[in-house]
Amino acid sequence: MKQTKIFDAVDRANELGFSSYDELIIGFSRMVVQKLKLTGLNIQAEKMKLWNKAIYEQAEPAAAYINGGRWLAKCPVCSNIEHVTPLHPYLFCHECTNEDIRQAARPVLFPQSEEIKKIEEALLKNDLFLPDELGKLYKDINTTDLARLAQPAPGYSRLDWSFS
């Protein structure tokens, strides 16, 4: 099997039923709050802060990378990993809620768009397969997880890339 595109935060938003990346950022926080409340962690739930919808361009940026066919970035403050997208190069971390910049989003460094195209095209040529036990679950796993779990066929590489 081949992956048809490198999955990004917009794909992740669609998978979770959100209509945009911005809605994913806020909606995911709400999902976390709901989960905390359900488990009786009300104080933690109330402490959860939402993205303030601003982007603080001067903040320390996060570098985008591709891991297992997905665009990701690591929060430079707490090392939590989030899905990102070159279409909207900013990051709100759902772990530390970007407390250091008062809930603004921070910039994400991506390669130039021509470069992104080349990187993605090269990676998508790789043939992948799912180990047997996962092949059976195929229909129950979402596409970003599928990308993460797929393994390179003999002679091919994983769908990984990062700034060197």
Which residues are at the interface with Zn ion (CB under 5 A)? Answer: 75, 77-78, 80, 93, 95-96
Q: What are the CA-CA distances from residue 21 to residues 15, 17, 24, 161 (Å)?
A: 11, 11, 5, 22
C-beta of 15 vs 100, nearer to Zn ion? 100
C-beta of 75 vs 147, nearer to Zn ion? 75
C-beta of 75 vs 84, nearer to Zn ion? 75
Q: Which residue has the tokens 């970003």?
A: 144
Q: Which amino acid is at 66?
A: I
Shortest Cβ distance from residue 44 to Zn ion (Å)? Answer: 16
Shortest Cβ distance from residue 24 to Zn ion (Å)? Answer: 16
C-beta of 80 vs 162, nearer to Zn ion? 80
Classify residue 89 as left (phi > 0), alpha (psi -120 to 50) or beta. Answer: beta
Shortest Cβ distance from residue 129 to Zn ion (Å)? Answer: 34
Shortest Cβ distance from residue 50 to Zn ion (Å)? Answer: 14
3-state secondary structure at position 32: helix
CB atoms within 10 A of CB 93: 24
